[in-house]
Amino acid sequence: MNNDEIRAQIRGTATEAGLLATFDAGGQAHLSTIETAISGGNAFDASEAAQTLRDLGLAEQSPSLAGKVTLTHNGRMLAQKIRQSRLNGPERWDAVERAIIADLIERHPQRQRLGRPQRRWPGG
């Protein structure tokens, strides 16, 4: 599986949060750091995220006895790519688009509909 496929697979998951938290901690982080990064997470979620990072080759295979996760070169590269995309890339564009849509819905709740408006043709 290449980095783009891995990225798509972990996008928005506890694994992505764990990857970025470990990257932000310098490439090595304790499970408690990952737990804190996971929204509503607990020790089990952090452990699962760390194991998924290992399974995907983004973290070293042998977990440390101290409960630390160490990113591989591939893990660091992917985390850096995700961070860059959030600053000025597709993920940033998606976030801006979602924010604009949410703002429009909040300002005009009566216009909130699913799908496209139906055109009404004269005589039809």
Backbone angles phi, psi at 6, to 5 degrees: -65, -45
Q: Which residue has the higher pLDDT, 18 or 42?
A: 18
Mean pLDDT, residues 12-24 = 94
The class (CATH top level) of 3-108 is mainly alpha
Backbone angles phi, psi at 59, to 5 degrees: -130, 155
* 64-100 pLDDT per residue, tens: 667 799 999 999 999 999 998 888 877 778 888 888 8
